[in-house]
């Protein structure tokens, strides 16, 4: 897998365009400067979580005796379920719980940014080609830089595209991501059959 493919996959699974309405809803009670600070802080927390999974996820999997094919298959299934929700959203997907005070870690960092699909993707990177760890680290850095830029421009994008435009973009991203999920699943089955 190339750096470009890894970055694109991470951006798709973090789904910044689909998260814009949710971020705006959670942060609407704060002034723009504070919103930007919260977005950057939560993105950094999510980044640290993904980096921890990148470097220590393999040891966790080994300790739990989880094989690479099982990781591929489960990652593919999780990713597929998430993409189905992106393409055919359920109404509660767009609603958020009411939080008192400033959001911290939940829900912006986890699960909206570093969600199950992003964690599974990073684990797959680390276990599939561990010799390319520096490449996966760079991919996460680039993906998060793009994610932060999109989220900081979320109010502008919301005005330009509107909620319908963002939904259309999210569904398009979901369709692309569906093929990634199916490929992940098939790769797991292939590895299992070769064992």
Contact of 57 with 136, CB cutoff 8 Å: no
Contact of 114 with 50, CB cutoff 8 Å: yes
Exposure pattern of 107-128 as b/e (b: 16+ CB <10 Å)? bbbbebbbbbbbbbbbbbbbbb
pLDDT tops 50 at residue 94? no
Q: Which domain holds residue 127?
A: 3-97+104-194
3-state secondary structure of 133: helix
pTM: 0.81
CA distance 176 to 99: 33
- Find, among 89, 85, 162, 91, the residue nearest to 116 by Cα: 85
Question: How confident is the model over 98-138, as pLDDT tens digits?
Answer: 556 889 998 899 988 998 778 888 988 888 888 999 999 99
Position 98 scores a pLDDT of 56
The number of folded domains in the chain is 1
Question: How confident is the model over 181-191, as pLDDT tens digits?
Answer: 898 899 889 98
Kindly state the average pLDDT of the residues 17-35: 89
- Find, among 51, 18, 41, 57, the residue nearest to 105 by Cα: 41
């Amino acid at each position: 897998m190339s750096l470009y493919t890894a970055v694109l996959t991470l951006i798709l699974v973090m789904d910044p365009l689909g998260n814009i309405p949710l971020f705006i809803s959670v942060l609407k009670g704060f002034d723009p400067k504070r919103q930007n600070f919260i977005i950057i802080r939560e993105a950094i927390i999510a980044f640290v979580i993904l980096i921890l999974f990148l470097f220590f996820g393999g040891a966790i999997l080994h300790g739990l005796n989880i094989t690479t094919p099982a990781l591929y298959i489960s990652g593919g299934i999780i990713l597929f379920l998430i993409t189905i929700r992106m393409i055919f959203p359920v109404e509660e997907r767009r609603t958020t719980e009411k939080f008192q005070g400033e959001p911290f870690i939940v829900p912006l960092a986890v699960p909206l940014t570093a969600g199950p699909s992003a964690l599974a993707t990073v684990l797959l990177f680390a276990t599939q080609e561990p010799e390319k760890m520096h490449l996966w680290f760079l991919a996460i850095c680039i993906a998060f830089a793009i994610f932060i830029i999109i989220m900081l421009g979320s109010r502008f994008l919301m005005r330009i595209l509107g909620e319908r435009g963002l939904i259309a973009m999210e569904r398009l991203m979901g369709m692309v991501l569906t093929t990634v999920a199916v490929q992940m699943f098939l790769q797991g089955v292939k590895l299992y059959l070769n064992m």
